[in-house]
Structure 1
Amino acid sequence: MDLIRIIVAILLPPLGVFLQVGIGAQFWINILLTLLGYIPGIIHAVYIIAKK
């Protein structure tokens, strides 16, 4: 299941974080990072998914 979440996180980072932790602080941080730059959003999303 984590592999699917990582693939989703690469395509759409906030969705990957949402699937892992739901709507919370990490989700909003990831949206902000994705808006500031796509790559930081991907890195954050993969980190959140790999951490759990």
Structure 2
Amino acid sequence: MDLVRIILAVILPPLGVFFQEGLGKHFWLNVLLTLLGYIPGIVHAVWIISSRDPARA
């Protein structure tokens, strides 16, 4: 499932973060980063997806 989220994060970064975290602070931060520059949005989204808490899986 993480692979699907990472692919979504590359195509549309806020969507990948939304599927990982929901409409929280990380989502809105990612929207802002994506608007300021596409690459920072991708980096943030992949970081959020890859650094999730294993206990939540």
TM class by shorter chain equals over 0.9
| Total equivalences in the alignment | 52
Note the aligned Cα RMSD (angstroms). Answer: 0.2
User: Normalized per residue, which structure has more helix?
Assistant: 1
Runs of 5+ in structure 2 lacking a partner? 53-57
Q: TM-score normalized by structure 1? A: 0.99
What TM-score, normalized to structure 2?
A: 0.91
Unaligned 5+ runs, structure 1: none
Which portions of structure 1, spanning 4 or more consecutive aligned residues, are displaced by more than 2 angstroms?
none
Max radius of gyration: which structure? 2
The sequence identity of aligned pairs, in percent, is 69
